Structure 1
Amino acid sequence: MLRPGWQLLAYLSLLLAGTAAADDPFRIAVIDPNRIVEESPQYEAARNLLSAEAQEREAELAAQQEDIDRLENRLERDGALMRTDEITRLRNDIRARERRLRYAREELQADFALRQSDLRTKLVKQVEEVVEQVAKDNDIDLILSEGVVYSSARVDMSDEVIDRLKEVFEKR
């Protein structure tokens, strides 16, 4: 018995073979979606944008950590000379700053994940549009992507999709 993915592929092959005899032959192509995304200039631009945004916020967090480190050093260095209420106040201040820093780091991670997801969704939509246009321009009837076990270079149109994505990116 064939696995579900193979059943669909076998069904499509039979369907296309039966119909192809009556009309013009069907044209089938494959794409490598991971390669297309990773080699697109849009992906590189999104990655650079995310990196720049993260660096700014990480610099702020590093400055907050330095402040905490300074206060801890002061407590170690001067703690023996300080009054009890000063030590308590300084320890409370350090703990409060550490909590705020921990919260800020968690918020940065959540924001980064959300932003990354948004940019990936936009890129996937743009890739889909370009793939559809390339298929129409080349009279391709069926494009397969993930789950393809073998394809020859003759039917792989990933390079053409990447080239079109570069054109779209340069026109921005």
Structure 2
Amino acid sequence: MKKLTRQFILGSLLVLAGLQAHAQELKIGIVNLDRIFREANTAKSAQVKLEQEFSKREKELNEIGSQLKTASDKFERDAPTLAESQRNSRQKTLVDQDREFQRKRREFQEDLNARKNEELQQVIERANKVVKSLAETEKYDLIVQEAVYVNPKFDVTDKVIKLLNASNGK
């Protein structure tokens, strides 16, 4: 719904701008957020920050997963020779360990996604400030962040990335 409203407003603005085009030339710019997330120093530093913050937990989870796999393989090999009670006991232990591992992995993924969204939001806020500044200094009438097709002459993403990198993310 929000996207449809945004598209309707954008379409209306373009129609209105077309009506005024006879009086003055409309200056439009397009920004590609995906490129900003890939190429801007602020986005790259956010990614490094996240990797540092979550690498220890990820390593621990990988170790737990590896230990669980080893224990499961050992159980598969030993199961035919075990007594029924031992087999049931070890199987229950493995199921409990797997459940705990899955819970920790889910928590890790949720925490990572939440932090990633926080960092990306900060990058977006910085980029929006730069876009607004660019629009004011270069007298743009309209700068859009999402488009299905963009003629390269309207793409101002390079300018935004350069200004973001020059401002060191401030």
Q: Structure 2 length normalisation: TM-score?
A: 0.74
Say if 2:8 is the partner of 1:9: no
1:59-88 deviations in whole A, cap 9, x for unaligned?
211211232233334434555665554433
5 Å-filtered alignment, 1:20-59, equals 20=24, 28-34=27-33, 35-59=35-59
Q: Which residue of 2 aligns with 1:23?
A: none
Say if 2:62 is the partner of 1:99: no
5 Å-filtered alignment, 1:154-169, equals 155-169=154-168
Give the Cα separation in 1 of the matches to 2:44 and 2:123.
Answer: 11
**SS of 1:146 mapped into structure 2:** coil
CA contact (8 A) 2:79 2:87 kept: yes
Give the Cα separation in 1 of the matches to 2:94 and 2:106.
Answer: 18
Q: Which residue of 1 aligns with 2:69?
A: 69
CA contact (8 A) 1:130 1:164 kept: yes
Q: Residue 151 and residue 83 in structure 1: after superposition, are their counterparts in 2 closer, same or farther (change >3 A)?
A: closer
**SS of 2:51 mapped into structure 1:** helix
Give the Cα separation in 2 of the matches to 1:150 and 1:33.
Answer: 10
1:116-162 deviations in whole A, cap 9, x for unaligned?
22222111111100111122222334323433755462x54322211
- Name whichever of 104-113 and 127-136 sits farther off: 104-113
Give the Cα separation in 2 of the matches to 1:161 and 1:75.
Answer: 57
- Name whichever of 94-103 and 137-146 sits farther off: 137-146
Larger radius of gyration: 1
* 1:53 CA displacement: 3.9
CA contact (8 A) 2:17 2:26 kept: no
CA contact (8 A) 1:71 1:90 kept: no
CA contact (8 A) 1:29 1:157 kept: no
- Name whichever of 120-129 and 66-75 sits farther off: 66-75
How many matched pairs? 162
Q: Residue 138 and residue 148 in structure 1: after superposition, are their counterparts in 2 closer, same or farther (change >3 A)?
A: farther
**SS of 1:143 mapped into structure 2:** strand
Q: Which residue of 2 aligns with 1:112?
A: 112
Give the Cα separation in 2 of the matches to 1:149 and 1:83.
Answer: 67
CA contact (8 A) 1:68 1:94 kept: yes
Q: Which residue of 1 aligns with 2:131?
A: 131
CA contact (8 A) 1:130 1:161 kept: yes
Give the Cα separation in 2 of the matches to 1:158 and 1:75.
Answer: 56
> Percent same amino acid at aligned positions?
22
Give the Cα separation in 1 of the matches to 2:78 and 2:157.
Answer: 65
Q: Residue 141 and residue 73 in structure 1: after superposition, are their counterparts in 2 closer, same or farther (change >3 A)?
A: closer
**SS of 1:163 mapped into structure 2:** helix
